Structure 1
Amino acid sequence: RYFLSPMCLLGRSRMNALESHLEIDEGLYSRQIYVLGYDAMQRMTGSSVLVSGMKGVGVETAKNIILAGVKSVTVHDQGDAQWSDLSSQFFLSEGDVGQNRAVVSQRHLAELNSYVPVVAYTEELSEKFLSAFQVGRRELCGPPSCPSGPWFMASSVFLPLQGCPGVVTIACEEKQEHFENGGMVTFSRVEGMTELNNSEPQPVCVLGKPLFQTLNRECWGIEPLSATLTHPKIKIKDKGKLTHYCTLHMAFQALHAFQSKMGRLPRPRNQVDADRLLELAQDLAGWQAPLDEELVRAFAAVSAGDLSPINAVIGAMAAQEVLKAASGKFTPLDQWFYFDAWECLPEQEHSVPLSEQDCAPRGSRYDGQIAVFGADFQERLGQQKYFVVGAGAIGCELLKNFGMIGLAAGKGGRITVTDMDTIERSNLNRQFLFRPQDVSKQKSEVAAAAVRHMNPYTNVTAHQDCLGPDTEQLYGDNFFLGLDGVATALDNPQARVYVGERCVQYLKPLLDSGTEGTKGHVQVFVPFLTESYGHAMDLAEKTYPLCTLRHFPTAIQHTLQWARDQFEGLFKKSAENVNSFLQDSNFLKVSGGEALEKLELVHSSLQEKPLSWGECVAWARRLWEQLFRNDIQQLLYNFPPDHVRHSPSYRKSGSSPSPLFPLPLDTHMAFILAASRLFAQTHRLQVSGDEVAARQVLLVLCLPPFQPCQGLHIPTTDQELKETSDTVGKESTMGHRPLPSLSALLGTGLTPLSLCPSKGDDNSNFHLNFIVAASNLRAENYGIPTADWLQSKRIVGRIVPAIATTTAAVAGLVCLELYKLVWGHKDLGSYRQSFLRLAEPMFICIQPCSPSKQQTWTCWDRIEVPGVTGSGEEMTLGDLRDHLQVILRKGNNHPLNPFLSPIRLTELVHCITGKAVPKDCRFLEFQIVCEGEEEDSTPPPVHVQLH
């Protein structure tokens, strides 16, 4: 029941922040910079924000804004903490009841981001006090809306700003010189704000590259709040609820009137209060729209509730709207957005209706939730056993929500969370359970401790194991069969598929979610009711042809992958080969072609062993010459520029490459310095890495001129490349000549090299410096636009852009689906798959797909067979064959190998796999192979029950 206040006063202070170009902490904000960009981040650092109301949704909003990195945040609340606040206000504890909510919350909020001062304010708000803020949010009775007044400025959506001229960003650099003060502009092909199109020419004032501002102050855009109360624009969330949003609009206004008159909210499930609220709504319906009376009564029944998942969703959306106003990035909400989750209530046809007694307050920290679902449901929540896979950004938000709703907080309840990663500084921007002092600690342990602090009754256990085939003995039958459900918080599609397969195997519901920037999704997979995770996902990973990477790149992604391959080969694989050669006597006992290639790498690595910093620089300079001049000239020798019209690979690349000249450019020097330092590290050479000394070496270093290699074949397709490699391997194998001993060739006293494994997300070494420099130099070779350091880091490290608001929203949506699982909803229409894009904002909820059927079974079905015979003996392979023949009544009775037929199933597994069946194994899984059957009619697996 919340909306954004019309306090969007973005004036001179914001422009000053833009002009000052404040330095942004990339180590902390890197994932968010990929979402917002530098300019938006700089604008945010000049905005002070007021958040009024420190109950559940208020603290969610403030948390997300502080993590984003605005200038300052003031939290306001005149009320004291109540028991009912503890159901969603995660920074309040039982000992804080009776203390001011803003004062208590400020202590915890201030720990989230050292760059954002947080101040508590407990007095009544006044116009003078409000004038100090650029962005405001108040907590009132009403749905989320964005009445920002008639003006708003955004960099990606051209809307003017209240009290200021509209500011326009010119994206095309070569066009930036065409504007001058007093010049006239018109707009065309503007999407979203069509009032700009074909307007009269307007004078402009140039603010400096790349900005100008229009001087026309004509008023258009967003309607004020007073107008939208009677004539609302409503953003549709759920396509299945097109008819009841107008009723909700009136119900919220009636609720505000009810609270003003009665001084309280309607009592849960109280018929008298529901009738009174309906009367107030009917008064509004006379001049607005038709009214759904049953919906209003249901609305009254739950209006006193306070659910942490709902607050997480609303708080995330509210915070994103504040950040839009503060940064000028993305499209603001226009103007009302209603969010509801009526499907979380018990299904009428499968349960007894809740009564007023069921939902009455108990003096419990869960009273806000009991008011909606009843006390019995709260007890059921406490008994749940859930497995959370991943304790990163989404994992932190999930655990916080689980703690607030009381999941596993009762007798027999348990939450197991596993994550093998440790906390990094860049995590602190989104993973709000972690603090700077937690860096390098285990994520799962710190997250579990934080949740126990929020709700001491939560039973949560932290593991540090990677969930996969190697840990199936730990996460085996007893573990999975004892679960009520699984929630994944993973960024690895393959790991998610594995978890999905385990959930199908053990018939456990799966809650899956993910984010990328402002986009997010939530999916629920229910045994026998929905499709499984593997059937819903497309895991095709984009790869690049090797010939494209080696000879014909067309995009910066190609050059970055090539540069990473160079790094791996020069500083990791070469060291591994040398170390294996020196330490493993069987190192070269492989096929001739592979042995020859390894031997050449070892020989090259040891022959060029440096003894000084100057030799490292000389090696790096020769490498530069080979990669960016000689290799390119050889390519041009084989494929002259006019070859473009003949070669498919060349034709795709668009133009022929050009060799670089060894000029004293920064990009050239960056490559040489990074390569020199990495070469020194690999050979365990302690050097200072002085740039001045490096330049002196380069001045006197002489390199031989390029001589093309006659007869060198350069493959133009991957198939041709494979055939060439096979030919080399065969020729090498046919030689049968002994391989020389490098230790004898180079003498004794050799020591193993130091490996430099690629760490694309580590700023403290020269790994990424080398990759970025090499990539950009190769891009210059081929006329490809280069990428800056941060963009290159994202591509190389496969970093997913992330922001706290999206993470909080999807975690809230996950918990709403969890409510339905705990109720045991049996109707597919009760569940929702959610897809959101907060930038627009777009919010879509749809019904999950039912499982596809193969004849009469789905992916959730299995054939269960007792593992013992009637005489109490363990089943043999012959017994299993006979049993299946009887129950399936299909196919011919094929004879079995007489030596296999009497063997017990556990012994058979041991013979085939080489591993003994664990004593705690509950069942063995077999797959039936049917001859003469259609390919898409694979029978369900056979589960032989051992216990």
Structure 2
Amino acid sequence: MSSKMNIDQTGSGTIDEGLYSRQLYVLGHEAMKQMSQSDVLIIGCKGLGVEIAKNVCLAGVKSVTLYDPQPTHIEDLSSQYFLTEDDLGVARAEVSVPKLAELNQYVPVSSTPQLSIQDLKKYKCVVVTETSLSKQLEINDFTHENGIAFISADSRGLFGSVFCDFGPEFICTDVDGNEPLTGMIANITDDGTVTMLEETRHGLEDGDYVKFAEVKGVPALNNGQPHKVEVKGPYTFSIGSIDVLGGSAATGGIFTQVKMPQKLAFKSLRESLKEPDYVFPDFGKMLRPPQYHVAFQALSAFADTHNGALPRPRNDADAGEFLQLAKKIGTSFDSQLELDEKLLKEVSYQAKGDLVSMCAFLGGIVAQEVLKSTTSKFFPFKQFFYFDSLESLPTSVELSEESCKPRGTRYDGQIAVFGAEFQQRLSSLNQFLVGAGAIGCEMLKNWSMMGVATGEHGHIHVTDMDSIEKSNLNRQFLFRPRDVGKLKAESAANAVAIMNPSLTGKITSYQERVGPESEGIFGDEFFGNLSMVTNALDNVEARLYVDRRCVFFEKPLLESGTLGTKGNTQVVVPHLTESYGSSQDPPEKSFPICTLKNFPNRIEHTIAWARDLFEGLFKQPVDNVNLYLSSPNFLETTLKTSSNPREVLENIRDYLVTDKPLSFEECIIWARNQFEKFFNHNIQQLLFNFPKDSVTSNGQPFWSGPKRAPSPLTFDINNRAHFDFIVAAASIYAFNYGLKEETDPALYERVLSSFKPAEYTPKSGVKIQVNDSDEAPEAAANSDKQELKSIADSLPPPSSLAGFRLTPADFEKDDDTNHHIDFITAASNLRALNYEITTADRFKTKFVAGKIVPAMCTSTAVVSGLVCLELVKLVDGKKKLEDYKNGFFNLAIGLFTFSDPIGSPKMKFNEKEVDKIWDRFTLPNFTLQNLIDHFSEKEGLEVTMLSSGVSLLYANFQPPKKLAERLPLKISDLVEQISKKKLEPFRKHLILEVCCDDKDGEDVEVPFITVKV
């Protein structure tokens, strides 16, 4: 089955799901189709303009055209990562085109040396940066009149501005960006009252629309027509009388929320300047947008009177002139507005500043707005968005006109804001980046522009155990198609060293997972020398481990993550904030086992079942066979420790004897037998145990509510779902045995047409688990030790199969040639047909079975920008909670929330207050007796229990003889003795957990202990 959909992108008639898969799960195929037909013009190719262009190219529009005839200046290199010193004097657009074109083979990129107003008719969206207000007005007057989306954006130091105008009649097809709500229905009464099954909340609001499927009794409800909702309660809603649909009542079925298009009217820029509508990014700064509305107009007015030049850094004369312009504009705009002169002067001071962090943040936002304009998906900005990160301004260095003046270096755009002394601090950082995927690539790019670790003593360490795959290229922008198969960390390090040659020799890449197994590499000395740690990880377990290491070594941690259009950032500051591990997300939702095994009612249930079936057919049994052949004590261990030894032994017998194929034809026969077993025989047995007219002990129909009565499937070679299952199953089974896969349909038809399935007679006495609380049927089957021994005795001895091994199928969702997703799709859909559940296509099945995290390059850019704004604060050494910001955003709806981090919790013992997370007792390698005495004499605490990991070193209730043996031992010797393991040579500290009683004999909570060894 092909992985490509018939959607036109560049005239080829297809869209490359292998490349766009993660983004497709955010936008969907229809939005991607619209985007692939949209031409975009971007004016201005400094840092912000090229960041927008980069994200738009990666997303996959039809084409991108650049306009920027200005020559490259040295200060442009502060944020424009495609420019080098060799490009000085060359037009910025000309340099950027070939490098942007490398990002996506499906998106042609070009530049135009001249641009007239009439030329704008070619484009679906026009983005304007680095352009005077008068020119913006001229362009917007034309775009507004001609139905062309217009976005203007500027980055000025720690200040940013975005304006959107999508015309007077813009249709938004998805206003909230959320997955449509869905739920199971118990019944629908004649007046249209819908009651949810088993008191599950529907989550709908008045005015929402829903459609129905699988409703019994009123077939017309299943026609896909939307019905307006009136909420009656958390478990009921009304759609109005259903008499007109030919029914008086209906039962069962599923509702799905329908996103109804909404028409939005945008004002032109000329109108909006007088009557602005604001998007508020920070509710703690609600009064600032009007100030910035005046300030950015004043900057343009200043540039108009100074031949395009902006106010000089920290120059009071320029700031005074700027302030007068702002007052004049402010009076004409709003006579009641009281200007904040201190704030406005800061805008003037930083106007020439060009920070890559702000460009990343604003560039991700603007690119998402471009995608909204071309797809009509998600709610756009209405209409002005002003942002500042003044908290990032250093306070530990003197900022003056002298310290912020240009030096003729690539960092001048950053020095204009932070000063030369602070630039030196950035160059001396020793950074550890954990992960070189989407966020990691953006972080390295930002660091290279900032000059992080470029100094004599600076260094960047980056680790990632993965290699580059095609699906990474859509959002991990340091990689190109030629890099597929290479190591991520190494490739990313090489890429940013090209962007900033000063990083050559300043980056060390690793392929190790950061965990207990790599503490010999990332150990005490390594962490001790770090300035801070930045996580760019995609799993919670690794994040928690890094967090624990940062707490132990008292290192700041910058944490972030994305999910589709959403993103979050967290800053962890030693002795100030809580750690990442202080709060955790709720566990991932799982399905009851009995539901998956026997009573599915949703396609997600059948996909989960099919995913387990994949493991149960092609992975677990194969691993067991290989262990049996290679491990002498495997059978003995299995009989003692396995929860289902019978299944393990039967698998080995079947895979080595009963079902061992010698040809691909036999693999087809095996697959055909699996079809009978899972989609016919097992269903017959279930219905034998629980016929369709069964009732419960309460007299209620057994097959009711969430329980759907299934029907066996009869194999039909002409049914595509049936045939797909055979092809996928036979191919993976052949892979297990190293047999050559056959693709000739005639071979399948010949083998299958001659196959005669055995008649199946349901058996009495077969137990079927009805509830999760019931004993699993395997428990009884595994209790017959004699039968288990008989199966074990029937296995061929490993010596008779010397050198023979099977190849397990390790699930890989992104390889379209391995049949893994094909098998799961086919198996899931066949089971869905058993239970009359609406089937799912390969695309959705891959999403659910592969647990794919939807991703957008836009969100990644925004996250990286916010993280780097916090990095600056850490380098500055800010000491107050309110100086730092944890952030959350959802680009789909233009939502941004920023909050102060939560402070680290405190605890007390013997009137002494300590930090619960960051404080610890640091002790030498005492004897156990010395340690106990130390706590008694120095802290007034009685040690009642002491442990190291899972090893209990001391407890006051232990026998006196054991205590007498342990008390004279040094802690390191005691740990080695109890754990029966020598301490690794690289380990310089031991972490001990201690329980103590205070002076009053009360149990108290105290910090952990670190022992230097």
Q: Shared fold by TM > 0.5?
A: yes
- C-alpha change, 1:734 and 1:29, in structure 2 (3 Å) is closer
- Kept in 1, the 8 Å contact 2:629–2:798? The answer is no
- Kept in 2, the 8 Å contact 1:145–1:335? The answer is yes
Q: Which residue of 2 aligns with 1:908?
A: 974
SS of alignment partner, residue 502 of structure 2: coil
- C-alpha change, 1:644 and 1:406, in structure 2 (3 Å) is farther
- Kept in 2, the 8 Å contact 1:22–1:42? The answer is no
Q: How far 1:760 moved relative to its partner? A: 2.3
Q: Which residue of 2 aligns with 1:373?
A: 418
Q: CA separation in 2, counterparts of 1:332 and 1:114?
A: 28
Q: Which residue of 1 aligns with 2:362?
A: 314
Q: Which residue of 2 aligns with 1:826?
A: 879
- C-alpha change, 1:880 and 1:568, in structure 2 (3 Å) is same
- Name which of 970, 977, 987 aligns with 1:921: 987
Q: What is the correspondence of 1:128-143 to structure 2 with a 5 Å cutoff?
A: 128-139=118-129, 140=131, 143=161
Q: CA separation in 1, counterparts of 2:798 and 2:409?
A: 80
SS of alignment partner, residue 58 of structure 1: helix
Q: How far 1:504 moved relative to its partner? A: 0.9
- Kept in 2, the 8 Å contact 1:548–1:649? The answer is no
SS of alignment partner, residue 110 of structure 2: strand
Q: CA separation in 1, counterparts of 2:228 and 2:711?
A: 40
Q: Which residue of 1 aligns with 2:745?
A: 691
- Name which of 817, 820, 844 aligns with 1:791: 844
- C-alpha change, 1:817 and 1:648, in structure 2 (3 Å) is farther
Q: How far 1:915 moved relative to its partner? A: 3.3
- Kept in 1, the 8 Å contact 2:943–2:997? The answer is no
Q: Which residue of 1 aligns with 2:473?
A: 428
Q: How far 1:256 moved relative to its partner? A: 1.0
The TM-score with structure 2 as length reference comes to 0.82
Q: How far 1:693 moved relative to its partner? A: 1.9
Q: How far 1:353 moved relative to its partner? A: 4.5
Q: What is the correspondence of 1:866-885 to structure 2 with a 5 Å cutoff?
A: 866-867=923-924, 875-885=926-936
Q: Which residue of 1 aligns with 2:65?
A: 74
Q: Which residue of 2 aligns with 1:657?
A: 710
Indicate yes or no: 2:377 matched with 1:329: yes
Indicate yes or no: 2:74 matched with 1:83: yes
Q: What is the correspondence of 1:438-517 to structure 2 with a 5 Å cutoff?
A: 438-458=483-503, 459-517=506-564
- Kept in 2, the 8 Å contact 1:170–1:176? The answer is no
Q: CA separation in 2, counterparts of 1:212 and 1:624?
A: 38
Q: CA separation in 1, counterparts of 2:528 and 2:705?
A: 54
Q: CA separation in 2, counterparts of 1:186 and 1:762?
A: 41
- C-alpha change, 1:374 and 1:746, in structure 2 (3 Å) is closer
Q: CA separation in 2, counterparts of 1:649 and 1:337?
A: 58
Q: How far 1:170 moved relative to its partner? A: 11
Q: CA separation in 1, counterparts of 2:834 and 2:787?
A: 39
SS of alignment partner, residue 83 of structure 2: coil
Q: For 1:485-529, what per-residue CA distance to the aligned partner results, in whole angstroms no more than 9, with x for missing partners?
A: 111111111111111111111111111111111111111111121
Q: CA separation in 1, counterparts of 2:818 and 2:468?
A: 19
Indicate yes or no: 2:471 matched with 1:413: no
Counterpart code for 1:274 = A
Counterpart code for 2:477 = F
Q: CA separation in 2, counterparts of 1:834 and 1:244?
A: 19
- C-alpha change, 1:748 and 1:435, in structure 2 (3 Å) is closer
The TM-score with structure 1 as length reference comes to 0.88
Q: CA separation in 1, counterparts of 2:688 and 2:173?
A: 48
Q: What is the correspondence of 1:706-855 to structure 2 with a 5 Å cutoff?
A: 706-722=760-776, 724-732=777-785, 739-743=792-796, 751-855=804-908
Q: How far 1:448 moved relative to its partner? A: 0.2
Q: How far 1:739 moved relative to its partner? A: 3.4
Q: Which residue of 2 aligns with 1:705?
A: 759
Counterpart code for 1:384 = L
SS of alignment partner, residue 720 of structure 1: coil
Q: Which residue of 2 aligns with 1:628?
A: 679
- C-alpha change, 1:413 and 1:131, in structure 2 (3 Å) is same
SS of alignment partner, residue 762 of structure 1: coil
* Long gaps (5+) in structure 1: 1-15, 159-168, 180-184, 190-210, 868-873
Q: How far 1:617 moved relative to its partner? A: 1.9
Q: CA separation in 2, counterparts of 1:186 and 1:766?
A: 40
SS of alignment partner, residue 290 of structure 1: coil
Q: CA separation in 1, counterparts of 2:577 and 2:224?
A: 58
- Kept in 2, the 8 Å contact 1:493–1:539? The answer is no
Counterpart code for 2:456 = K
Counterpart code for 1:68 = A
Q: Which residue of 2 aligns with 1:596?
A: 646
Q: For 1:535-571, what per-residue CA distance to the aligned partner results, in whole angstroms no more than 9, with x for missing partners?
A: 1322522222222221122222221221121111211
- Kept in 1, the 8 Å contact 2:175–2:893? The answer is no
Q: Which residue of 2 aligns with 1:641?
A: 692
- C-alpha change, 1:108 and 1:17, in structure 2 (3 Å) is same
Counterpart code for 2:649 = L
Q: How far 1:460 moved relative to its partner? A: 1.4
Q: CA separation in 2, counterparts of 1:898 and 1:528?
A: 39
Q: CA separation in 1, counterparts of 2:315 and 2:847?
A: 55
- C-alpha change, 1:643 and 1:212, in structure 2 (3 Å) is closer
Q: CA separation in 2, counterparts of 1:876 and 1:293?
A: 65
SS of alignment partner, residue 50 of structure 1: strand
Q: For 1:102-126, what per-residue CA distance to the aligned partner results, in whole angstroms no more than 9, with x for missing partners?
A: 0011121111111111112232x20
Q: CA separation in 2, counterparts of 1:708 and 1:781?
A: 17
- Name which of 727, 730, 742 aligns with 1:676: 730
SS of alignment partner, residue 249 of structure 1: helix
Q: How far 1:177 moved relative to its partner? A: 8.7
- C-alpha change, 1:816 and 1:749, in structure 2 (3 Å) is closer
Indicate yes or no: 2:169 matched with 1:103: no
- Kept in 2, the 8 Å contact 1:331–1:841? The answer is yes
Counterpart code for 1:924 = L
Aligned-pair Cα RMSD in Å = 3.1
Q: CA separation in 2, counterparts of 1:738 and 1:639?
A: 31
Counterpart code for 1:705 = E
- Name which of 276, 279, 288 aligns with 1:244: 288
Q: CA separation in 2, counterparts of 1:105 and 1:382?
A: 26
Percent same amino acid at aligned positions?
43
- Name which of 240, 265, 269 aligns with 1:225: 269
- C-alpha change, 1:923 and 1:176, in structure 2 (3 Å) is closer
Q: CA separation in 2, counterparts of 1:922 and 1:586?
A: 38
- Kept in 2, the 8 Å contact 1:862–1:943? The answer is no
Indicate yes or no: 2:919 matched with 1:862: yes
- Kept in 2, the 8 Å contact 1:854–1:936? The answer is no
Q: How far 1:323 moved relative to its partner? A: 1.1
Counterpart code for 2:1009 = V
Counterpart code for 1:243 = L
Q: Which residue of 2 aligns with 1:343?
A: 391
Indicate yes or no: 2:607 matched with 1:560: yes
Q: How far 1:272 moved relative to its partner? A: 1.4
Higher strand share: 2
* Long gaps (5+) in structure 2: 1-6, 133-153, 155-160, 177-208, 214-219, 231-257, 945-955
- Kept in 1, the 8 Å contact 2:696–2:702? The answer is no
Q: CA separation in 2, counterparts of 1:258 and 1:523?
A: 38
Q: For 1:242-298, what per-residue CA distance to the aligned partner results, in whole angstroms no more than 9, with x for missing partners?
A: 112211111111111111112311111111111111111111222412211211111
